[in-house]
Amino acid sequence: MRIPKSLKKGDTIGLVSASSPTPSEVLPRAIKAIEDLGFNVVVGETCKERHGYLAGKDDLRAQEINEMFRNPEIDGIFCIRGGYGAQRILPLLDLEMIKENPKVFAGYSDVTALHIVFNQLCQFVTFHSPMPSTEFIKEEMDDYTWNSFLTSVMDTERTDYFLENAPGNPVKVLVPGEATGELVGGNLTLVASSLGTPYEIDTKGKILFLEDIDEYERSVDRMLTQLKLAGKLDDAAGILLGAWTNCGPQNPDKPEQSLRLHTIFEEILVPTGKPILMDITCGHVLPTMTLPLGKKISFNTELRMIKVMG
């Protein structure tokens, strides 16, 4: 697994959308947020285009990502937002070329589809991180989130450090134990959607991270069950659970008709016997940590510590 070159102030960031369109009034603020970090910005056409619920047609979004990796003047690539659509462009990506030009690639949510492909097929580390048109411009963007992000992308070869939750947000143990493996995963919806495709996630001997937003509890149940039946949970060395933002019952006034998320985790995840930590400060939430997907990590539930090893 190769590690992309660290970013430094003065480097040029390619800003793209592989998924949904960016509101026009948000784009200038997103650009300024990146410039305020000390980077130059090349704004992709996908940040300005709209094709229904997509940031331009599939060929444009794929071509732009290809060009950002191919262009030697682009030092890193930030996805401006998530939404929907990244999976549609996977067959159009020049994966051999991208493999030969690893760069800092950052984003999360729908971007999970690209993380899986770049980690597995292009074999380089990517970063599950906050994004310019969503978190970067929020008033509640905090020092913990900024520090986690900037340290991750500006010191990519850093090893033997700990992924620590934001202050006041304790990690919880679902299943005790220790686990070591390559960190993979991201958004549960995208991880589950990869199954049965040429881009199916490989969890064998790896640490699987999962989070999601705006899903009914039974949808979370269905997707976790799908992963279980596909052998992905049994294959994993361990599991990390992040934030489950607005993932609640379809009928909150009738709690007897639903199951709590914790109950779902107990019934589907606990029987795997895999070590599991939950309430990791990461996902559709602030504060949020940046995760180095593709790096080897280890965790110990007794110490409740997650160490990035390499």
Catalytic residue status for 284: yes
Nearest to 58 by CA among 27, 85, 94: 85
Token pair 């007897």: residue: 256
Q: Is 250 left (phi over 0), alpha (psi -120 to 50) or beta?
A: alpha
Catalytic residue, chosen from 64, 135, 182, 211, is 211
CA 42, 44, 49, 50 dihedral sign is negative
Nearest to 106 by CA among 141, 144, 151, 72: 151
Catalytic residue, chosen from 115, 193, 215, 284, is 284
Q: Which residues contact 263 (CB under 8 A, 6 or more apart)?
A: none
Catalytic residue, chosen from 109, 148, 193, 194, is 109
Active centre residues (catalytic): 109, 211, 284
